[in-house]
Amino acid sequence: MGDKELLKIFYDQVGEKYPEEESVYHTLRGKLRKKFVINWLKQQSGSLLEIGTNRGMYLQHYKGGARFGVDLSQTVLRTAHHEKPVFYAVADAERLYCFKSGVFERVLCSEVIEHCFHPEEVFHSIAHVLKSNGRALLTTPNYRRQRPTWVELDVMTNYGIKSTWQEKYFHTAYRPEELAAFAGKAGLDVVQCGTLEKEIKYVAKIPAVILLVGRVLNKMLKSQRFGMWNEDLFQKLSNFIYLVTHYTLFEKCALLFVKEGVRSYIIVEKT
């Protein structure tokens, strides 16, 4: 069985067991990312394709035109949102040739390419489905020194998720200039690229120390309940510190010393 088949099996499992919207978007990172993406969506119009849509949370916020969502996981699409008219389909982000060329005005691909073995193919797929003058937004984790590749399942194990890759899964990261290089090779023009979630750089420092101490302690305790409590404490502390700094002058001062955020983004256009 090839990696692509194993990848689909893994994300079918994740889609069935892991409540991503509830787990990720109550975290500070998730909240900041969601705000950024929704602000972009509010400024767009025309038919929208979301790649790696999960349950279609972002599509429900889009008001500019027809909504389409694709995901590799069939199981997650079974529980997708249908409050507003949305068309869902199972499709591979690296091979969107199930669509005719040039059929969408806008494409959203948030937190997807870091899970793909061939990220350059995702950009070629986007170039294929975009209309002329169409635009796409992509977000993905950023990194500084060493690029991550295979990472531990961590909190996913609390939901009974297993991996055939020695209890790890493929989760990498890209710098903004790397995204720009992918876009250029796919014939897409870079409108804007950079980083976001800069607040994490100073907000999460103290909570991160507490989190790491708790993880070390739990290697001896081996308690799932303690592990979940430790992760929840980290998120609550991060959110609390963010609120305190956000509504004071400290945030503006702190951001002056933060060069880049923990997440990369790029907005591209097909000419």
Q: What are 12-48's pLDDT values in tens digits?
A: 999 999 999 999 999 999 999 999 999 999 999 999 9
pLDDT in tens, 81-126: 988 899 999 999 999 999 999 999 999 999 999 999 999 999 999 9
pLDDT in tens, 37-87: 999 999 999 999 999 999 999 999 999 999 999 999 999 999 999 888 999
What ranges do the domains of the chain cover? 3-198+260-269
Q: Which of 10, 12, 4, 108 is nearest to 51 (CA)?
A: 108
Q: Strands of 104-110's sheet, edge to edge?
A: 87-90, 67-71, 48-51, 104-110, 130-141, 263-269, 189-196
Give the residue carrying structure tokens 């209890």. 167
Which residues fall within 8 angstroms of residue 117, CB to CB, at 6 or more apart? Answer: 3, 4, 7, 94, 170
Claim: this prediction has a pTM higher than 0.85: yes
Fold for 3-198+260-269, please state it: Rossmann fold (3.40.50)
pLDDT of residue 2: 82
Q: Which of 103, 65, 99 is nearest to 84 (CA)?
A: 65
Q: What percent of the chain has pLDDT over 90?
A: 89
Top mean-pLDDT range of 144-148, 153-157, 181-185: 181-185
pLDDT of residue 112: 98
